[in-house]
Amino acid sequence: AKAKAAPSSSGGGKSAKKKKWSKGKVKDKAQHAVVLDKPTYDRVIKEVPTFRFISQSILIERLKIGGSLARLVIRSLEKDGQIKKIVHHHGQLIYSTCRFY
């Protein structure tokens, strides 16, 4: 049977106080619209075709709308011929205004 060694006063390199970890930065939950009301719709029709670079992420950030709503808006504008697809990737669809391409 091995005898336990008595704890030394030096602590074996460990500090006396236990390190306290920060909780980290907490991001506020985004309150994005999930239905397209009249003012938001008017803003989409007026502003989005003027964007040089259009993607789902851009619409979410600038217009404060949900992701599924942003995809619907993009599909609708493409069908109307106001925007044109540049890159089709399963993760991110990238569009631009028709006047550049």
Q: What is the mean pLDDT of the chain?
A: 83
Beta-carbon count within 10 A of 1 CB: 2
Question: In this structure, are residues 95 and 74 in contact, taking their beta carbons and an 8 Å threshold?
Answer: yes
Bigger pLDDT: 42 vs 11? 42
Distance of CA 94 to the CA centre of its chain: 15
Q: Among 3-7, 22-26, 46-50, which is the least confidently predicted range? A: 3-7
pLDDT tens-digit map of 9-29: 555 556 677 877 877 787 778
Gap between the Cα atoms of 90 and 92, Å rounded: 6
The H or E element spanning position 97 is strand 93-97
